[in-house]
Structure 1
Amino acid sequence: MHPGTGRGLQMLNMLKTKSIYILFVLLSSGFTMTSGAQAQNLTVAMATPMQVEGAGKSPMGWIDFCKSHAADCDVKPAKPTKVRLTAARLSELDGINRKVNAAIQPVTDQELYGVEEKWTYPVDKGDCEDYVLLKRRMLMDAGWPRQALLITVVRDLKGDGHAVLTVVTDRGDYALDNQAEDVKPWFDTGYTYIKRQSQVDPNVWVLLGDGIGPVGVAAAP
């Protein structure tokens, strides 16, 4: 073998190794930057909470509910909390939402009780607030904190008054809805959010950002 051939092969191998290393670094850097940007955007989108704009009036349905379910309303103020949303917990939300939706037949209060508005725990029939109350109780029985489970008044896609259960998590606010099987981030429902319970005290209600603009909507029952 020519004495220069060994040195040439050695240099060539070194260059190949260096080129591969540089290519690896470039690809790794590019991948990291792209993934980082995507992850940041996802985190920002998922972590967007509802905007609380001020104090609101308690719905008459809740006030009447408290008269017959005093133990559910006679609670001490508590520190706001966010549930750490894991895959298992999201699955639990989804399961309870689907279970209640399947078990309760939707009927109006007028049809069921002969009154315009009545909030109560349903047995086999009820309207939107009844679904919400049952889901809320089931989640609290399962160990979810009351401060993160908020009855929320909205306008649905038809513009009608409606209620969903808002769950406050470290990944944003989610909505459990009797008009949808999937548990969704609140802004994916397409609803106009009016007001909801305060995290501190369920007997105190707060206006939400969506409810400030439309005329008359903020005072919806």
Structure 2
Amino acid sequence: MKLLHRTLLASAMLLSCTVMGSVAQAEPGRFMDMQMVVKAPVGYDQFCRDNVSACPKETYKPVVVKLDEARWNELIAINKEVNRRIHPMTDQDLFGQEEYWTYPVNGYGDCEEYVLEKQRVLIEAGWPKSALLITVAKDTQNSGHAVLTVRTDHGDMILDNQIEAVLPWYSTPYRYIKRQSASSPVQWTGIADTRVTTVSSVSN
């Protein structure tokens, strides 16, 4: 576990070397501060209409994953594999509309397709649904962005298609808005992200 802790710290340090700009913030918690119930993104509602079985109207007791070395390595491997397998393409180019959520199409997709595929693969690998939460944020260009939050005993970890490393949520350069509830996949909760950031862009 000491090795895992050092790895997480190294990942956070890696991001500080790839982010251009600066971040000034109060000490964040390991877990996002969840607030009131909010509406799901329009794209997620459309996804659920098209993929009813992927959005069961069920509730479950929230759990966090015990992040041992094996789980950590599996998380990194799946994040990397999906990022390599999907090629970025906008919804406008792929579907002829500004916003459309679905699973990857012929190996192409935007951030939502990456997130939905990672969630699906992790569930198939035995990870609990309540720990794999689609999350909406604003990126460094103030554009809408989607990532996958994985709830672990080391805190909320972020799987992203823009940043290769799996990082604690507070080490990413995004402003978090809302995410799926840990109690139900069809409910969403607002996020109180009070960090003060001046991040301008992420290096390639």
Map of 2:91 onto structure 1: 109
Q: Which amino acid aligns with 1:209?
A: A
Q: Deviations over 1:61-82 (max 9, x none)?
A: 1111111110111241000000
Map of 1:134 onto structure 2: 117
Q: Which amino acid aligns with 2:32?
A: M
- Cα distance in 2 between the residues matched to 1:46 and 1:78: 27
**Aligned counterparts, 1:1-221, within 5 A:** 48-122=30-104, 123-210=106-193
| Contact 2:134-2:147 within 8 A present in 1 as well | yes
- Cα distance in 2 between the residues matched to 1:191 and 1:67: 28
| Contact 2:28-2:170 within 8 A present in 1 as well | no
Identify the structure with bigger relative contact order (alpha carbons < 8 Å, sequence gap 6+): 2
| Contact 1:46-1:185 within 8 A present in 2 as well | no
Q: Which amino acid aligns with 2:192?
A: G
Q: Deviations over 1:163-205 (max 9, x none)?
A: 0000001110000000011100011111100000000011110
Secondary structure of the 1:210 match is coil
- Cα distance in 1 between the residues matched to 2:157 and 2:127: 14
Unaligned runs of 5+ in 2: 1-5, 10-26, 197-204
Secondary structure of the 1:158 match is coil
Change (3 A) 1:46 1:192: closer
Q: Deviations over 1:104-136 (max 9, x none)?
A: 111110010001111111031000010000000
- Cα distance in 2 between the residues matched to 1:63 and 1:186: 25
TM-score, scaled relative to structure 1: 0.73
TM-score, scaled relative to structure 2: 0.79
Q: Which one has a larger percent strand, Structure 1 or Structure 2?
A: 2
Q: Which 4+ runs in 1 deviate beyond 3 A? A: none
Unaligned runs of 5+ in 1: 1-38, 214-221
CA shift, 1:56, in A, is: 1.0
Q: Which one has a larger percent helix, Structure 1 or Structure 2?
A: 1
* Cα RMSD, aligned residues only: 2.1
| Contact 1:78-1:200 within 8 A present in 2 as well | yes
- Cα distance in 2 between the residues matched to 1:72 and 1:59: 16
